[in-house]
A and B are shown apart, each in its own frame.
Chain A
Amino acid sequence: MENNIQHSDIYAIALHHRFQWEEAQQSYVILFPEGMVKLHGGAGEVLKRVDGKATVGEIVAELKAAFPDADDIENDIIGMFDLAYGKAWLRKI
């Protein structure tokens, strides 16, 4: 499944979806017609870097640098892209 996502891929938040920080919930959310998803801390860290410009590889590198103590986060990050793209929260540029 995870080999769908390449380091050179660039993603953006899908059309008609909005990603924002929710103070009352202390979490990031994705909003779309008739639904919302409340994201785990880690997932929010990934998606807040998705801007339609950065490649997956750049985001992985940035997160590795930001969280040097986390083991093997690359698989988790790729897994997150895979899930979010599969759910159509992201679109490929």
Chain B
Amino acid sequence: MTQATSLAESVVQKEIHAQAQNNGVAANITHTQPLWLLAEVTYRCPLHCAFCYNPTDYDKHTQNELTTEQWINVLRDARKMGAIQLGISGGEPLLRDDIEDIVIEAKKLGYYSNLITSGVGLTEKRIQAFKDGGLDHIQLSMHDITEEINNFITSTKTFELKKKVAAMIKNHGYPMVLNVVIHRYNIDHIQEILEMAEKLGADYVELANTQYYGWSLVNRNQLMPLKEQIDHAEKITNEFRQKVGNKMKIFFVVPDYFANRPKKCMNGWGEVFMIVTANGDVLPCHSARVLPNMEFPNVRDKGLEWAWKDSPAFNKYRGNNWMKEPCRTCPEQANDLGGCRCQAFLLSGDAESADPVCSLSPSHHLIEEAIENSKNPVLQAQPIIFRTDKNSKKYASGESRERVEEFHALP
């Protein structure tokens, strides 16, 4: 027990959270290993959330989903490489009828598995099968305490259903993990949202301020709250945290537009996160496909190990050799690794530049302008473009360029 003397202080080599403060993870990892596998098993979804981070052209990936057998191979291969936390996500994963098979395999392989769901399609029969199959927890998205906002922002009538599903999750002995995306329409209800979570018996609550990718970037002027609202929400969250202590863990994911330094996106490119999308693309982050001159590996081609270790895409932004000034010589470089490559490209047109969120970025004015625009009543009044197959088809075909012209790639 040679390391015993340093136990209490250095007992934890790495403490890694999926969300915490960085939209990704909060750890400092020096060697890469895909600890986290996110399986975005389908882009089909019965909800139409205005803030969805899925690509606006997702529709083109709804016809070529991986088969059950292909997913099981993904799970096996990733586990061999050290993956241990498994998120089964989408779209709405429950639209596939083989989630039960995936759960059983995940258990067999020793994953800690998490179903990330809107709750639509979760029945007594299915949740029992998940329990029997060894699913470890279910993360349910909630949207507001009011039926009106829930139904508006998701463009569905799902308010009552979500409450029923929350009870079902609890009744089956699952930890209750609620995810609430925060935006202009619900940010002033944080207190009530937290009270609702407590009443539902939530063990974990993630208050995820909207980050602007995919549909939420298109709807940025419609969704962005004021700085004052965010500060107030954070204050209420901190007070609530004091009150409930360890009983309910509350994560407040800070909105990067209002920070002066960027997030360490995904805890670094190709460091701990690996995403396999519905069609088998292997990505280091959800929105990486917006980046130019990149060819992402697909599990149908050379397999996961090659994708993670050797593919040019996964190696492109690992470490710091790719950086330009001001990141290259920045004393804070290790804190954020220059921020998000996708955000840098989408907003500035240069994927190697500092994330414009950083006040030291030459493109920081783009963030300031976006914040100003979100206060402009004329822009605010534009209708939300909801995440629907119809809208997605229009973006995918190029028929619509509505509200994406200012970005350097289709969000």
Q: Contact residues of A with B, CB < 8 Å?
A: 15-16, 18, 20, 22, 24-25, 27, 29, 31-43, 45-46, 63, 66-67, 70-73, 75-77, 79-80, 82-83, 88
Contact = CB atoms under 8 A, between A and B. Distances in A.
A24 B81 contact: yes
Nearest to B36: A36
Given A36-B112, A77-B7, 13 more contacts: A16-B174, A27-B13, A29-B84, A31-B136, A32-B112, A37-B15, A40-B3, A42-B1, A42-B11, A43-B7, A67-B4, A76-B5, A79-B8
Contact of B10 (A29, A35, A40, A72): A40
B349 interface: no
B12 A71 contact: no
A18 B136 contact: yes
Contacts of B303: none
Contact of A22 (B17, B84, B114, B203): B84
Contacts of B81: 24
Q: Which 8 A-B pairs have the closest CB atoms?
A: A79-B8, A24-B82, A76-B7, A67-B1, A31-B112, A34-B18, A16-B175, A43-B11
B203 A73 contact: no
B172 to A, nearest CB: 12
B6 interface: yes
User: Which of A39, A76, A88 has the most chain B CB atoms closer than 10 A to its own CB?
Assistant: A76
Given A41-B2, A71-B5, A80 B11 contact: yes
A71 B80 CA distance: 37
Interface SS of chain A: mixed
13 contacts: A18-B136, A34-B139, A35-B15, A35-B17, A37-B15, A37-B16, A41-B1, A41-B3, A42-B1, A70-B4, A75-B8, A77-B7, A79-B11
Interface residues of B, number: 39
Interface of B is mostly: mixed
Contact of B85 (A15, A31, A40): A31
Interface of B: 1-8, 10-19, 33, 35, 80-82, 84-85, 110, 112, 114, 136-137, 139, 174-175, 177, 203-204, 206, 246, 251
Contacts, number: 118
Best-surrounded residue of A20, A36, A66, A73 (most CB of chain B within 10 A): A36
Given A18-B136, A25-B82, A36 B7 contact: no
Contacts of A37: 12, 14-16
A70 B5 contact: yes
Contact of A20 (B5, B110, B175, B246): B110
B16 A36 contact: yes
A18 B10 contact: no
A42 B7 contact: yes
Contact of B6 (A20, A31, A32, A40): A40
B82 A33 contact: no
A40 B1 contact: no
Contact of A73 (B1, B18, B84, B136): B1
B1 A63 contact: yes
A34 B177 contact: yes
B1 A33 contact: no
A73 B4 contact: yes
A37 B27 CA distance: 10
Contacts of A35: 15-18
A41 B174 CA distance: 30
Contact of A82 (B8, B12, B136, B251): B8
Contacts of B7: 40, 42-43, 46, 73, 76-77, 79-80
Nearest to B81: A24
A33 B35 contact: no
A32 B10 CA distance: 20
Given A76-B8, A82-B8, A42 B3 contact: yes
Nearest to B17: A35
A69 B246 CA distance: 37
Contacts of B175: 15-16, 32-33
A33 B137 contact: yes
Nearest to A18: B112
B11 to A, nearest CB: 4
Contact of A33 (B11, B33, B139): B139
Given A33-B177, A33-B204, A38-B14, A76 B4 contact: yes
A36 B82 contact: no
A80 B204 contact: no
A39 B85 contact: no
B17 to A, nearest CB: 4
